[in-house]
């Protein structure tokens, strides 16, 4: 289903019409002056840059108790604000940005939706969809000349064996999120972890990333358990969780429950009084509603004014993805898609995302380097990379798979 045009973003007015309006409202002039003014407006050409937005939200598992209902425009509102930001700068450079949005049902045809966006002239497509959809789209012959911006899928495989030269990853990978959390836990001298993993494949991938982080930063997973309870945890948490969490001594319980089936019920109910971190509790994320540093408060207020709600992590990922194109167009002073794609993937590209350090692209896997926030429910706790975790190139490369570790073959291993 194609979403309707966003007011103020997709509506276009011809320059000739603008000229006529300006002349109609101006003081009386001579015919020669009016003709000169009209010709001046007509010669001011504006370059249009179209950005596609392809979204596909999976159905939530039926077993999840009382999930938070996401806003209907979660993600899309972030991309829409980015288009407005792009146009704020673009008007001085004679660049105009348009967002084309297509929503794909959970069982819909994402390839057909991508072809629809291509038919509208989009060479840049923000993909807000599960990893399987992102991978399938990146391998289509139709997408060879596109730049796909993976806005939400954290799958490490997309940056590894399933990487593609036409794919840029805006969302941090699971390895980056786990490393961001692992650095903080080690810095706090909480090296003994109790890992609790959900039953879904995504939970197991998150748990793999946690195990990698523990090994990488010298922590130890002293115990592991898998959540297999079939009961309604909302009703039985007080009696069930203390029994489930009885194990050997540990410093912090790390939970891998990406859909929120049980993780929110662990805090304050564990057999031993220990903090909870991971997908619930202290959470590594790209954005949080309490984040105000490095100009974030200004972005928060602008988003709240436009969307009438706080910005979510999904909104911020989609905002960043659309801003990548706008920032490249402003800095390269061009609207040519081929030149923009080359610039985005070059060492010269950087951009701000209000997180304390500029984002740039890792050439070996197409991942945007970026800081990761560590947040509790109502407060920002810290930002990784943590002080003391050094790297010969940039501390941001201490998060996730570094160049010597990459399994990506299609992008090669150029020197950044």
pLDDT band at 191 (very low <50, low <70, confident <90, very high): very high
Q: What integer pLDDT is reported at residue 64 of this predicted model? A: 61
Q: What integer pLDDT is reported at residue 44 of this predicted model? A: 65
Q: What integer pLDDT is reported at residue 63 of this predicted model? A: 65
| pLDDT(391) > 80 | yes
The string of pLDDT tens digits covering residues 100-148 is 999 999 999 999 999 999 999 999 999 999 999 999 999 999 999 999 9
More confident residue, 239 or 222: 222
Single out the residue of 177, 144, 173 nearest to residue 157, CA to CA. 173
77: tokens are: 């509102």
Q: Which residues of 170-197 are buried (b: 16+ CB within 10 A; e: fewer)?
A: bbbbbbbbbbbbbbbbbeeebbbbbbbb
Backbone angles phi, psi at 394, to 5 degrees: -160, 140
- Compute the distance between CA of residue 324 and CA of residue 86 in angstroms, rounded to an integer: 10
Residues 6+ apart with CB under 8 A from 377: none
Dihedral of CA atoms 327, 395, 287, 364 in degrees, nearest 10, equals 60
What global pTM score does this model have?
0.88
| pLDDT(39) > 90 | no
Q: Hey, is 375 helix, strand or coil?
A: strand
**Which residues pair with residue 252 across a beta bridge?**
193
| pLDDT(66) > 70 | no
Backbone angles phi, psi at 77, to 5 degrees: -65, -35
| pLDDT(186) > 80 | yes
**Which residues pair with residue 285 across a beta bridge?**
373
Q: What integer pLDDT is reported at residue 232 of this predicted model? A: 79
DSSP E strand stretches across 1-123 = 47-55, 95-103
In the chain, % of residues over pLDDT 90: 81
| pLDDT(3) > 70 | no
More confident residue, 6 or 203: 203
In a 10 Å sphere around its CB, with 0-12 CB exposed, 13-18 middle and 19+ buried, how is residue 166 labelled?
buried
pLDDT band at 262 (very low <50, low <70, confident <90, very high): very high
Which stretch of DSSP H or E encloses residue 221? Answer: strand 220-226
Task: Calculate mean pLDDT across residues 274-289.
Answer: 98
| pLDDT(318) > 90 | yes
Single out the residue of 234, 275, 236 nearest to residue 254, CA to CA. 275
Give the pairing type, strands 124-128 and 95-103. Answer: unpaired
Q: What integer pLDDT is reported at residue 412 of this predicted model? A: 55
């Amino acid at each position: 289903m194609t979403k309707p045009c966003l007011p103020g973003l997709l509506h276009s007015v011809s320059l000739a019409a603008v000229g006529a309006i300006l002349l109609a409202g101006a003081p009386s002039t001579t015919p020669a002056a009016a003709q000169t003014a009209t010709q001046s407006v007509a010669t001011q050409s504006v370059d249009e840059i179209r950005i596609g937005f392809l979204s596909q939200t999976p159905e939530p598992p039926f077993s999840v108790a009382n999930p938070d209902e996401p806003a209907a425009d979660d993600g899309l509102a972030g991309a829409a604000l980015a288009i407005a930001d792009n146009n704020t700068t673009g008007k001085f450079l004679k660049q105009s940005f348009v967002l084309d949005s297509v929503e794909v049902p959970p069982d819909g045809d994402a390839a057909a939706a991508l072809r629809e966006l291509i038919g509208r002239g989009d060479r840049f497509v923000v993909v807000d969809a599960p990893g399987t959809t992102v991978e399938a789209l990146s391998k289509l012959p139709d997408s060879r000349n596109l730049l796909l911006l993976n806005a939400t899928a954290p799958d490490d495989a997309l940056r590894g064996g399933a990487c593609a030269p036409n794919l840029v990853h805006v969302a941090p990978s699971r390895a980056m999120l786990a490393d961001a959390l692992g650095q903080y836990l080690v810095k706090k001298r909480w090296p003994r972890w109790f890992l609790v993993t959900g039953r879904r494949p995504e939970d197991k991938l998150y748990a793999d990333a946690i195990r990698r982080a523990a090994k990488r930063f010298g922590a130890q997973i002293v115990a592991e358990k898998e959540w297999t309870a079939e009961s309604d945890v909302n009703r039985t948490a007080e009696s069930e969780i203390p029994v489930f969490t009885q194990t050997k001594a540990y410093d912090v319980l790390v939970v891998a429950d990406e859909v929120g089936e049980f993780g929110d019920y662990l805090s304050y109910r564990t057999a031993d009084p220990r903090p909870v971190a991971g997908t619930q509790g202290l959470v590594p994320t790209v954005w949080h509603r309490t984040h105000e540093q490095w100009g974030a408060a200004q972005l928060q207020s602008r988003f709240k004014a436009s969307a009438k709600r706080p910005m979510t992590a999904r909104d911020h990922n989609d905002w960043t993805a659309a801003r990548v194109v706008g920032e490249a167009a402003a800095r390269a002073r061009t609207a040519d898609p081929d030149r923009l794609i080359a610039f985005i993937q070059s060492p010269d590209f950087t951009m701000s995302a209000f997180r304390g350090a500029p984002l740039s692209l890792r050439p070996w896997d197409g991942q945007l380097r970026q800081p990761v926030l560590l947040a509790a429910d109502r407060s920002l706790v810290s930002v990784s990379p943590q002080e003391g975790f050094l790297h010969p190139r940039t501390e941001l490369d201490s998060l996730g798979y570094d160049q010597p570790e990459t399994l990506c073959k299609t992008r090669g291993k150029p020197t950044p």
